A and B are shown apart, each in its own frame.
Chain A
Amino acid sequence: MRVLTPALLAAALLLSACGTTETPEAKPGAATGGPVTVTDARGKAVTLPAAAKRVVVLEWGETEMVSSLGVTPVGAADAAGYRTWDKAAPLAPEVSDVGKRNEPSVDAIVALNPEVVIMPEERDSALVPQLEKYVPVVVTKSSDASRNFDRLREDFRLVAKTIGKESEADRILSEMDIKLAEGRKAVEAKGSAGTPFLMADGYQQGSTVSIRPFGKGSQVSDVAEAVGLKNAWAGKVDPQWGLGQTDIEGLTALTDPKTVLFYSASEEDVFTTGLARNPVWQRLPFAVSKKVFKLDPGTWTFGGPKSVIGLAGQIVRHTTA
């Protein structure tokens, strides 16, 4: 039997592979600082024997929060992608990749023997109860277009408390507040307060261009408004991320000649190359006034306070230049 021979061989191999892989469980070092209880985005009280040192993070924004608080996670989902798309808080090279963000490997997570897993609410909800059988899971809100700034603070404090870095978090949050206030002052000093802006991602395939505006309530919009700008996009957006979608002529809704455009493009640059010769584009206020600003590569629009600080800096720099 052609089919069976390899199968039987494999079986023989497996049977000969008796034995165990398990080493006696290494108890994590003596707990310091006593038990920690946090109430996460689900409203669930999660108790850890001590502030977690071995952390696995399953979304980039949360990975940034943990790194920026001075803790190197033992594992992160799509670490390679994080290093490309979010440069606000560099991730140490020894961090293990635990798989893609939409289907992280449960085996890989557990193999790292973490003390806590931090993951956002909207990713696979079936994973949470499964992981919780083995390791405490702290769930963040990740985004909420109705109150994104408060949500950011809550998520950040939640993460910080989980890993015992609350004072560090307060320091970073006040740094953020100072940066935003300074930015606001600089914008006002230039007389640019109230400048209408559009923030958008663009995608191109052949001649097909789709544009994804960040509407009111998206985190980047909150950042820009915090330094005194005004979101000009009034189209329909989704309630979680504050994202909308439109095409080039949809942008004609923007009529204020003072409007500026911010966009992020890590690959091809739709706005300056793909649309440059388009007559609708050429008449758009920011194209006329040449106020089209590309955010630095690696500016993650769904990041933590460090991303916010970086983003605010870029917005202020471009608006006051």
Chain B
Amino acid sequence: MRAGVRAPQAARAVAVPAVLVVLIAVLAAVHLTQGTSSSDVFDVLKALFGHGDAQTLAVLAGSRVPRLLAALLVGVALGVAGAGMQSVARNPLASPDTLAVNAGAHFAVVLVAAFGLALPVLPVGGVAFAGGLLAAVAVLGLAGGGSASPRLVLVGSAVMLALQSLTTLLLISYEQETADLFAWGSGSLTVSDLRATAQMAPVVALAAAALVAMGRKLDVLALGDDNATVLGLPVRRTRVGAVLLTVALTAAAVTVAGPVGFVGLSAPVITRLLLPIAKHRVLLPVSGLVGVVTVLGADVVLRAVFGSATAVLVPTGVVTTLVGAVVLVWLARRGRSGGARRPAPAGRVGVAGSRRRLVTIAAGLLALLIVVPVAGLLIGDRLVLLGDLANWFAGRTGTALTFVLDQRLPRVLAAVAAGAALAVAGCGIQSVSRNPLAEPGLLGITAGAGLGAIALITAVPVAGTWQIAGAAGAGAAVVFALVYGLAWRSGLDSDRLVIIGIAVWSAGMSLITLLIVVANPWDSAKALTWLSGSTYGRTLDQVLPVALALAVLTPLLWARHRDLDLLALDDDTPRVLGMRRERSRLVILVAAGALAATAVSAIGVVAFVGLVAPHLARSLVGGRHARVLPVAAAVGGVLVSAADTIGRSVIAPAQIPAGLVIALVGTPYFVFVLWRGRA
């Protein structure tokens, strides 16, 4: 590097931190003047210059300074952790969120709370550390350690999804015990003492210092494993050490304020923009400063916009997640399109040769498609037998049994139809995005539908079925159009589509949290239940939209099975064969979006089915969509129906939403798929 370039860089390396420190000072000053008490700017100013009244001093000491220090600690911890993770993973998209460390730590804390253990701060930090570490190890292991591919983010996001489902399950099951954990689950700075901050500060200081001390090694690691080994770096040990440190930082932040979203993602990205060629000894501390600016800025803006009294309800993490989502979208749009070509999303393409095998599978699936829903009708809180069912069919049952079966039928049908719709949508989306880990949820469709529906439920509590379905559809359409529009840059790049989808999905979930806590904080269980996919209280007319969508759109997609095959292959083949690629993609994605949206309107937000069902289908009948589509539809219907039946019966009379059962069952399978498919 020439000296002429070095000099301005060196100047920047001094100027940027200086500006950041000034900015933090200004934000901190504003932050101190905001709050729910009547102590205003002048009171605080007087107090700072030693003439304050006792009341203002107490407010500063008992509320505002603790909140400020918590923000500082969380910002530093997450900023440094994010930068460290991005270096270790050699991936600008790595972060405590996308590596599921936040979700793992949060899950562990909620688990402990749900079982009624009120632990002091330090053990909670230990629990959070263990949870975060497990999640990080799982994600890095499954994604094949350091690699620049978006696979890491996909694996991490999927694991995060699974962990969030489990957390939601606990929050619903222990409504009274965990009443305070819902808002905290999005990251809250409403601290009232310095205990957690004080106990976590040494952890953060030590871990951050150790990570900075490792700066040289991280610089070498950035050259790639082979180069680093040649240069004498113990690659494995360095990586393990750095991961442990970043997880400790994240766990400390979660212990203080809950999972504050996307700070660890956006802070290092912004730092790299400011200091493009900074070495780690500069990069890490500056990321910490940027992290502080993000957290503090979010808190200041939040309280300025909503007013301090209302802002108490809104977790700060909601705002940082929205900020981070914007950064993520920007990052994805900025990245080069194309990149490494990946193989088609087929498990074992072409193995499904023999006709006999196909016939067996078809017969087996048909049998399951009959048996599982029938079992769903029989099994529940009250077990009925086939003879009862026959009587009911003939209209000879007594009122009680008639009623039980009358209300079970729509639930079973809703589960089957929504499962099939999600599976078909998943096939289309995986093919178009050429990504075996894509699913309707990761494209923001389900979050959009959820947002639409929750917004309507909030505004009009007595909204009817069709209105809710319509709102869900509109939300899905708007959010999907947003994702598609953002991902479109003279063509649709599949990686970009998925990453932007993840960003918008996170932002959508944050907005849903915001709606719930502001509009109806006393009934979060209802919204959570709906958000985790439930067939509770469904009626036949609620099944109609999804049934219609299935009936119309599945044949439409099936008619395009050749397009799906080609799109899944690579970018060039469809062009060479003269296919109108973009138009075809649009048609497929719109159909998939409509299917997913109606599914959400029928049973709420169910993750994993759109991801897992196509996989199962491909492993049964190979990669050709003419076969995959119907098989996936059957598999999806069977899966959700079975999950629904399990959820209604295992802990009866209490119920587990179907979507959570899917997450419980789907997560291990999904982990297995990832483990088998790791490169």
Q: Flag whether B51 is at the interface (Cβ < 8 A).
A: no
The B-contacting residues of A in range 67-118, CB under 8 angstroms, are 81, 85, 96-108, 110-111, 113
Q: Flag whether A15 is at the interface (Cβ < 8 A).
A: yes
Q: Flag whether A39 is at the interface (Cβ < 8 A).
A: no
> Size band of the B side of the interface?
35 or more
Candidates B61, B190, B381; contact of A210 at CB < 8 Å: B190
The A-contacting residues of B in range 155-186, CB under 8 angstroms, are 172-173, 175-177, 179-181, 183-184
Which of B129-137, B224-232, B242-250, B383-391 binds A? Answer: B383-391
Candidates B176, B521, B539, B655; contact of A105 at CB < 8 Å: B655
By secondary structure, the B interface counts as helix
Pairwise interchain contact B400-A110, C-beta atoms closer than 8 A: yes
Q: Which single residue of chain A is at the shortest CB-CB distance from B257?
A: A208
Given contacts A14-B378, A110-B403, A134-B399, whether A205 and B385 have CB atoms under 8 Å apart is no
A277 to B195, CA, bound (A): 11
Q: Which single residue of chain B is at the shortest CB-CB distance from A100?
A: B654
The A-contacting residues of B in range 505-564, CB under 8 angstroms, are 521-523, 525-526, 529, 534, 536-537, 539
Q: Flag whether A262 is at the interface (Cβ < 8 A).
A: no
Given contacts A11-B371, A99-B654, A206-B124, whether A113 and B400 have CB atoms under 8 Å apart is yes
Q: Flag whether B222 is at the interface (Cβ < 8 A).
A: no
Q: Flag whether B59 is at the interface (Cβ < 8 A).
A: yes
**In the complex, which residues of chain B have a beta carbon less than 8 angstroms from the beta carbon of A105?**
381, 648, 652-655
The proximity string for B residues 368-403 relative to A, scoring 1 for CB distances below 8 Å and 0 otherwise, is: 100110110010111111111001000001111101
A101 to B109, CA, bound (A): 25
Given contacts A103-B534, A249-B63, whether A209 and B653 have CB atoms under 8 Å apart is no
Chain A's nearest CB lies how many Å from the CB of B101?
18
A129 to B522, CA, bound (A): 24
Candidates B179, B312, B537; contact of A250 at CB < 8 Å: B312
Chain B's nearest CB lies how many Å from the CB of A240?
8
Q: Flag whether B313 is at the interface (Cβ < 8 A).
A: yes
Q: Flag whether A274 is at the interface (Cβ < 8 A).
A: yes
Candidates A19, A249, A267; contact of B387 at CB < 8 Å: A19
Pairwise interchain contact B196-A207, C-beta atoms closer than 8 A: yes
Pairwise interchain contact A103-B536, C-beta atoms closer than 8 A: yes
Given contacts A20-B391, A125-B461, whether A278 and B192 have CB atoms under 8 Å apart is yes
Q: Flag whether A3 is at the interface (Cβ < 8 A).
A: yes
Given contacts A102-B526, A208-B257, whether A247 and B653 have CB atoms under 8 Å apart is no
A: which residues have CB within 8 A of B?
A: 1, 3-4, 7-8, 10-11, 14-15, 17-22, 24-25, 81, 85, 96-108, 110-111, 113, 122, 124-127, 130, 133-134, 203-210, 235-236, 238, 241, 243, 245-250, 252-253, 267-268, 274-275, 277-283
13 more A-B residue pairs beyond the given contacts A203-B180, A208-B188, with a C-beta to C-beta distance below 8 A: A7-B372, A21-B388, A22-B398, A25-B400, A102-B523, A105-B655, A206-B195, A206-B255, A208-B189, A209-B191, A235-B309, A280-B62, A280-B192
Q: Can you name 13 A-B residue pairings with CB atoms under 8 Å?
A: A10-B371, A14-B374, A14-B375, A21-B388, A99-B381, A130-B407, A130-B537, A205-B258, A207-B70, A208-B190, A243-B522, A245-B312, A267-B177
